[in-house]
């Protein structure tokens, strides 16, 4: 069931409250700086994850490895006019900056509501939190005068054969991904941001996800039991990221410099059926050994499959996932994507089947050249009998906030 709330046609009161209180609440409810937190922290706090850098040319959370816990959120913006939209992004940035730094909330006195939910205790740890914000194609309609500034490749998420997309779980004006070491850290951040931006945006849909520790080592596994994201491009290579991830300055509006396209796909896995498939058939569908992650013609996880030596697919089937997704040819070298995937578990559905799957996110320079090209190669792969994509969207991850005076979306709204 979608977490999308009903639209409030009488939301003017909420918007006015947002405008009156956005900056004031951001200051009154702000957290002290990381240095103050460190000075006041009890001894056992030394083992908690440190604050991750917030300011920079790029947003945190793009090149970072997947954190153990995440919440992916889509927002519908209900701000009235460009001024309110700007205030929304300023407030969102202020809260992200504050939450990722950690510290103690200011005292609001005995007459007002608490400045913080208290979920993380009286002294809020940074918890390694990252906040990554994107904008969807619908934000560039006629509400805010942004049509001429729309990124060249930004559009509503395309439906592919074998998809079963639910409109309530698709698209949105703004994407928000909160990632950290612990569940309570991301839940706390979501509640804080929702509180401070109420009246300017409302949640359309949300999904919680997790990554498993590497077992026994290497890349984490998805809920089908296979390692997920082995062949990612090298996120530490600036040249590789400029070629595959960051916005192409020759193609995109100038304001997008430092940003990237993010595709979010919510994919249900039919695990009861999958668990009854023989291990040999499972491995042939993926093209990898389930235990080690190695390609079927190799012995180690990071071995490169030798497709050229197996042109008829005798060892690694021509229909295997790794062969269709990434054929390792010169023609497909520029279609690689940077995967950041999470598992999800929503319990059971209305007929008692386990509702589990993948929160698939990936970053790229050009969704048509990269994500969509990969998806077209994967049409009718054998795995489609065991997975059902049902939601998500295309977004553009904004350039980073450069310093304490900058805010996410400034270059877009300038």
pTM over 0.85: yes
Task: Tell how far CA 266 is from the center of its chain.
Answer: 11
Query: What are 70's two structure tokens?
Result: 């995440």
- pLDDT for 169 equals 98
- pLDDT for 34 equals 41
- pLDDT for 26 equals 45
The rounded distance, in Å, linking the Cα atoms of 354 and 348 is: 4
Q: Are 15 and 84 in contact (CB under 8 A)?
A: yes
- pLDDT for 359 equals 98
Q: Are 12 and 79 in contact (CB under 8 A)?
A: no
| Contacts within 8 Å (CB) and 24+ apart, 238-245 | 241/63, 241/338, 243/334, 243/365, 244/334, 244/336, 244/337, 244/338, 244/364, 244/365, 244/370, 245/62, 245/63, 245/338, 245/363, 245/364, 245/365
Using 70 as the pLDDT threshold, list the residues of the chain that sit under it.
Answer: 1-47
Query: What are 395's two structure tokens?
Result: 């977004």
Surface-to-core class of residue 68, CB atoms within 10 Å of its CB (0-12 exposed, 13-18 middle, 19+ buried) = buried
Collapse the DSSP code of 375 into the 3-class scheme (helix H, G, I; strand E, B; otherwise coil) and give the result. helix
| Contacts within 8 Å (CB) and 24+ apart, 295-303 | 295/322, 296/320, 301/218, 301/219, 301/227, 301/230, 302/218, 302/230
- pLDDT for 16 equals 54
The rounded distance, in Å, linking the Cα atoms of 400 and 411 is: 10
């Amino acid at each position: 069931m979608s977490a999308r709330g009903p639209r409030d046609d009488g939301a003017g009161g909420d918007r006015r409250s947002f405008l009156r209180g956005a900056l004031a609440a951001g200051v009154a409810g702000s957290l002290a700086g990381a240095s103050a937190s460190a000075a006041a922290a009890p001894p056992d706090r030394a083992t908690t994850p440190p604050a991750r850098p917030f300011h920079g040319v790029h947003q945190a959370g793009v090149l970072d490895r997947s954190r153990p816990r995440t919440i992916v959120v889509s927002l519908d913006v209900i701000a009235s006019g460009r001024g309110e939209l700007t205030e929304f992004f300023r407030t969102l940035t202020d809260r992200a900056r504050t939450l990722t730094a950690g510290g103690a909330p200011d005292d609001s006195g005995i007459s007002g509501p608490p400045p913080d939910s208290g979920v993380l205790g009286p002294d809020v740890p940074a918890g390694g939190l990252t906040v990554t914000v994107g904008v969807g194609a619908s934000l560039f309609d006629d509400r805010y005068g942004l049509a001429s500034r729309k990124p060249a490749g930004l559009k509503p998420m395309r439906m592919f054969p074998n998809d079963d997309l639910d409109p309530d779980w698709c698209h949105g004006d703004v994407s928000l991904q909160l990632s950290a070491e612990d569940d309570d850290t991301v839940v706390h951040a979501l509640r804080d941001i929702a509180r401070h931006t109420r009246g300017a945006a409302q949640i359309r849909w949300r999904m919680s996800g997790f990554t498993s520790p590497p077992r026994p080592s290497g890349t984490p596994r998805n809920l089908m039991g296979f390692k997920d994201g082995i062949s990612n491009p090298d996120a530490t290579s600036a040249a590789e990221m400029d070629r595959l991830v960051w916005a192409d300055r020759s193609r995109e509006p100038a304001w997008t410099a430092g940003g990237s396209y993010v595709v979010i796909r919510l994919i249900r896995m039919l695990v009861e059926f999958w668990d009854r498939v023989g291990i040999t058939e499972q491995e042939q569908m993926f093209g990898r050994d389930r235990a080690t992650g190695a390609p079927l013609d190799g012995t180690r996880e990071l071995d490169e499959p030798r497709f050229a030596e197996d042109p008829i697919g005798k060892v690694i089937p021509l229909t295997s996932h790794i062969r269709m997704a990434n054929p390792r040819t010169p023609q497909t070298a520029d279609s690689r994507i940077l995967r950041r995937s999470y598992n999800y578990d929503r319990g059971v559905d209305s007929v008692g089947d386990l509702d589990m799957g993948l929160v698939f996110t990936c970053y790229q320079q050009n969704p048509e050249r990269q994500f969509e090209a990969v998806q077209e190669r994967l049409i009718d792969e054998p795995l489609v009998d065991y997975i059902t994509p049902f939601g998500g969207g295309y977004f553009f991850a904004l350039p980073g906030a450069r310093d304490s005076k900058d805010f996410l979306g400034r270059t877009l709204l300038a």
